[in-house]
Amino acid sequence: MEKASDVLLALSRDLESVEKERAAVDERRVKLDRSLGQLEEAIDGRRLQLEQVEEVTASADAGVQARFPRLAELETSSATSGPLTLENATARERALRTWLQGRIDADGSKRSRLSEKILGAMGDFRRAYPLETREVDAAVEAAPEYRRMLEALRGDDLPRFERRFKELLNENTIREIANFQAQLHRERREIEDRIASINRSLRGTEFNRGRYIELVTEGTTDAEVRDFQRDLRACTENTLSGSQDDSYSEAKFLQVKRIIERFRGREGSTEIDQRWTRKVTDVRTWFTFSASERWREDDREHEHYTDSGGKSGGQKEKLAYTVLAASLAYQFGLEWGERRSRSFRFVVIDEAFGRGSDESATYGLELFQRLNLQLLVVTPLQKLHVIEPFVAHVGYVANPEGERSTLRNFTIEEYRAEKARRTG
């Protein structure tokens, strides 16, 4: 009957399904009961922790509680992710502490560098103004004293004096440096003019057959002199059309200050700076001198002399006479060809031409004659014939018995007559 009844078969199947479903529901109910128990246990635990947190929070003083919002901001800024829970609170606290310590260390380093910079500035200020700061230490704790000095300077209207300083710098100091530079350039041009004047006379005196000597001036290669010229030029560059802002004025002031300090002599380098000053302000050191032997017909250079090395005795003597004549002309400011002049012209030549050749001696005397020098020549008797054409008087000194010297003074005409009488 059960096999033949479809209704009974369907009901049996339904009953079996319901039984399975009921078993599943019972199993789920058991799990939910277990979960509910765990949740209730967790809630009890959280409630206990909450009570503990509230107790700790309530026990904190007002100052600590006031920092809670700031801690919340820092926790947000520390780039930690996710919500704050009891489970991750310890890890988040450790992460925040590490992040804060990093910031503290960075700020400490920055503060240390800033302190060093402040102490350095204080030290520089104390060295620059020892009298004003003799009772003030170079310490961060002394900052109020430095601020007080700053306020005093501002109260004394320092900006007005600063403007006046810049006016004086531009109007007086730079102008005086420019005048100083112009004076040096005038002296340089004077040397060039004197050399040109000397060369005009040398051109008219035959050095060797068909050739004459010309003095050559070139700019020095000395590094100290060239650096000084460059620094002096930098002090006056763009002073008329240059910028007048603070940085420009400060730069010009420092350029002038460096030169003046070396002129005055820096501490510990006084002797060195004195030698440097004498050297760079002596315009003669601005030049390198040499001599050029040239052909008279076309001014081509035959030979160039920077010294007398490797030259024959006669060439050396002629070069020596050229340098001597040029030196006299330069020293006394002689103008070639002048018949009347207030310049000093008396020259004594002792033991002249004793060992030199007649040709060299004649060349030297011709140079002196072109200078219109008044010569007193002391020479052995055997060289008298070389000097004779260039002198007006002869003083003959003799001491035949070795006790007393005698001097006879002849005009050149009397000397020639006496000489002719004796040889005749």
| Domain residue limits, the chain | 1-53, 114-156, 184-306
pLDDT at 240 over 60: no
Residue with more model confidence, 322 or 264: 264
> Residues 224-244: what's their mean pLDDT?
77
Question: For residues 106-138, b (16+ Cβ closer than 10 Å) or e, as one string?
Answer: eeeeeeeeeeeebeeebeebbeeeeeebeebeb
What does the pLDDT look like over 29-45, one tens digit per residue?
A: 989 988 998 898 888 88
Which of 6-20, 65-79, 161-175 tops mean pLDDT? 6-20
pLDDT at 242 over 50: no
Per-residue model confidence (pLDDT) at position 2:
65
pTM: 0.49
What does the pLDDT look like over 366-408, one tens digit per residue?
A: 878 877 788 888 887 777 888 888 888 989 888 888 889 999 8
pLDDT tier, 8 (very low <50, low <70, confident <90, very high otherwise): confident
Closest CA to 329 of 341, 318, 317: 341
Whole-angstrom distance, CA of residue 9 vs CA of residue 12: 5
pLDDT tier, 227 (very low <50, low <70, confident <90, very high otherwise): very high
What does the pLDDT look like over 311-359, one tens digit per residue?
A: 666 677 777 777 777 777 777 766 655 666 667 778 888 776 666 778 8
What does the pLDDT look like over 275-304, one tens digit per residue?
A: 999 999 999 999 988 888 899 888 899 888
Whole-angstrom distance, CA of residue 381 vs CA of residue 424: 19
What does the pLDDT look like over 98-112, one tens digit per residue?
A: 888 888 999 999 999
> Residues 77-96: what's their mean pLDDT?
75
pLDDT at 247 over 80: no
Whole-angstrom distance, CA of residue 302 vs CA of residue 213: 10
Rounded mean pLDDT of the chain?
81
Give residue 330's identity as a one-letter amino acid code.
Answer: Y
Question: For residues 2-12, b (16+ Cβ closer than 10 Å) or e, as one string?
Answer: eeeeeeeeeee
> Residues 104-133: what's their mean pLDDT?
88
What are the two backbone dihedrals, phi and then psi, of residue 132, each rounded to the nearest 5 degrees? -70, -20
Among 40-49, 166-175, 189-198, whose mean pLDDT is lowest?
Answer: 166-175
pLDDT at 236 over 90: no
Whole-angstrom distance, CA of residue 219 vs CA of residue 286: 6
